[in-house]
Structure 1
Amino acid sequence: MHLARYALDGARGVAAARADGVFHGLILGDPACPGDVDSLLGQGPEALAAAAEVLAGGQAIDLTRAEFLPPLARPGKILCVGLNYADHSAEFAAPAPDHPVVFARFPSTLIGHDQAIVRPRVSDQLDYEGEFVAVIGRRGRHIARAAALDHVAAYALFNDVSVRDYQMRTSQWTVGKNFDRSGPFGPWLVTADALPPGCRGLRLQTRLNGVVVQDASTNDMLFDVATLVATLSEAMTLEPGDMIVTGTPAGVGGARTPPLWMRPGDVVEVELEGLGVLRNVVRDE
């Protein structure tokens, strides 16, 4: 099933897609609304399916007028994985890591589908990174790899937009990965039962102004979703609504000669089979 958050006519709501692909939903605060996506995630797949059925009986959403919001209103941890495709490590002349390279993003960076990525006034080195996200739906610590995918409720698309000069100033990437309005996330959540386990074997593609700049299979990931869930849970308790942003393949702008930085007016799209297309335009701060 597909679940989305939206804003329309000054109100916020939650929607689910019917079999024909049309989203129907209810405004938060409507007595019939089962709740926001964040609260639904931790209730288990049966409750999520029941909520989607209720939402699908709501009003059809005019997507020409509605604004897509990030699929989660209050994500807990946003755990991003760097250098998770060998070809991406190679394009930066970095050795393939023996363990997942993890850094944090903050919810303040997130924007939705069709919202504007902001190029900051302090840099022109704005880079794209097409990825997908695994969203945790079941709490756990010290999760065995064999059971790890049972803790994933849904998946979505992500563009880990990076301000490269700030990222590379030090060995810590936090600042360059956390500029305001630099984290496109969406357009919606797709529940895990609608996709191959761990999103294995799917084609991931990023396009800049219609030109393909990244093209890979999720089979090329060095650390798959199950491994990431198990490894991260060695250190911390994973909670419903936590996000694991799984890494980007080769083709990023900063590794090209000359570099291919995103500029105002550019349109960047991230697509993964079964998850749709996440599209954003770039504007100046």
Structure 2
Amino acid sequence: MKLLQFMKDGQARLGVKTAEGIMDVELTARRSGLELSFSMEEVIRDSAAAIPRLQELLAGDPQRVEEEEIRYAPCVTRPQKIICVGLNYRSHAAESGLAAPSVPVLFSKFNNSLAAHRETIALPDGPVQIDYEAELVLVIGKRTSGVTKEEALSCVFGYTVGNDLSARDLQFRTSQWLVGKSLDGFAPVGPCVVTTDEVDPGSLNIECRVNGELRQSANTRDMIFDCAELVSYISAYITLEPGDLIFTGTPEGVILGYPEEKRVWLRAGDELAVTIEGLGTLENRLG
């Protein structure tokens, strides 16, 4: 199932994307005489009960909205944690001039960094070395602590597309990456969360385009630490909660990996498109 959020009357509302369009869950439930007001967080937290109810609504008389008419919200709006993985593709570690890590390299972003599909992201004054990073993002589905690799993917609710935007001049000002990674709007996600039954996270093509030009093209099978290993490793030290996001790292092709004389950093007006097989395309404009 493909779940998304869109803005209506100043609030994020839940939608289900199908081949026929987007079902407005609240409106469909109301027209069906049902008392349902699912939020994305509620669906993630209690998916065993919520998904069958959504399937019932789809099988009835779904009330649809046109995708061109909606304003997307971030597909997850209130994660307790946004955990990111650095240098998780050997090719990206190599282009960065760094050794492939022996354990996952973790850092974080905060909720202020979240942005939606099709949202214009305002560039801050000061930083000038703005870079893209196409990433597969995991959405945790239940409280997760100390799980094995074999158990790990059963704790994932779904997958989405992310762009780990980075201000390199701030990122490397100190040994801690936080400031350069957590600027407002620098963690766009979407357009949908696709539930795990529809996705094999170990073999997904991933691409990033800037103004239509292909910059990154890889497959998640090239990860150093796969999704199960990441969830298991993180949960050994940090309890994960429903709705938490894990950005799983980016492949080669970022601007930072270019020879210094060929680096042309992102600027206002650039159009970014990150596509992951089966998950869709996340589009953002820089403003």
Stretches of structure 2 lacking an aligned partner (at least 5 in a row): none
Structure 2: distance between partners of 1:147 and 1:141: 11
Q: Deviations over 1:125-148 (max 9, x none)?
A: 110000011111021211011111
Structure 1 residues 49, 212: CA separation in 2 closer, same or farther (over 3 Å shift)? farther
Runs of 4+ in 1 over 4 A off after TM superposition: 27-31
Q: Could you say if the C-alpha distance between residues 214 and 64 of structure 1 is closer, same or farther in structure 2, counting changes exceeding 3 Å? A: same
Partner of 2:195: 191
Cα distance in structure 2, aligned partners of 1:13 and 1:221: 34
Q: In the alignment, which residue of structure 1 is the partner of 2:39?
A: 36
| Residue type of the alignment partner of 2:144 | G
- Residue 41 of structure 1 contacts residue 48 of structure 1 at CA under 8 Å; is this kept in 2? no
Which residue of 266, 269, 283 corresponds with 2:270? 266
Aligned mates of 1:101, 1:240 — CA distance in 2: 22
Shift of 1:39: 1.5
CA distance in 1, matches of 2:253, 2:203: 19
Give the direction of change, closer, same or farther, for the CA distance of 1:211–1:264 in structure 2 (3 Å limit): same
SS for the counterpart of 2:153 is helix
> How many residues align structurally?
280
Q: Secondary structure at the match of 1:16?
A: strand
Deviations 1:194-223 (A, max 9, x none): 111xx1111000000111100001000000
Shift of 1:45: 3.7
Other structure's SS at 1:67 match:
coil
**Structure 1, residues 96-144: CA drift from partner, whole Å, max 9, x if none?**
0000000011011101000012221111211000001111102121101
State the distance in 1 between where 2:277 and 2:8 align. 28
Question: Is the 1:81–1:100 contact (alpha carbons within 8 Å) kept by the matching residues of 2?
Answer: yes
> Is 1:279 matched up with 2:287?
no
SS at the partner of 1:71? coil
Q: Hey, what's the Cα distance between the residues in 1 that align with 2:126 and 2:20?
A: 41
Residue of structure 1 in register with 2:225 after alignment: 223
Deviation at 1:89, TM superposition (A): 0.5
What TM-score does the superposition give when structure 1 sets the normalisation length? 0.93
Task: Give ranges in structure 1 of 5+ residues lacking alignment.
Answer: none
SS of structure 1 residue aligned to 2:286: strand
**1:2-17 matches, cutoff 5 A:** 2-8=2-8, 10-17=10-17
**Which deviates further from its counterpart, 47-56 or 139-148?**
47-56
After TM superposition, give the deviation of residue 237 of structure 1 in Å.
Answer: 1.3
| Residue 89 (structure 1) aligned to one of 93, 112, 116 | 93
How far apart are residue 256 of structure 1 and its match?
Answer: 1.3
In structure 1, what residue type is equivalent to 2:242? P
Of 202, 205, 208, 2:204 maps to: 202
| Range that drifts further, 86-95 or 257-266 | 257-266
Distance change in 2, residues 1:135/1:207 (3 Å)? same
TM-score, normalisation: structure 2: 0.93
Over the residues paired in the alignment, what is the CA RMSD in angstroms? 1.8
How much has 1:239 moved relative to structure 2? 1.1
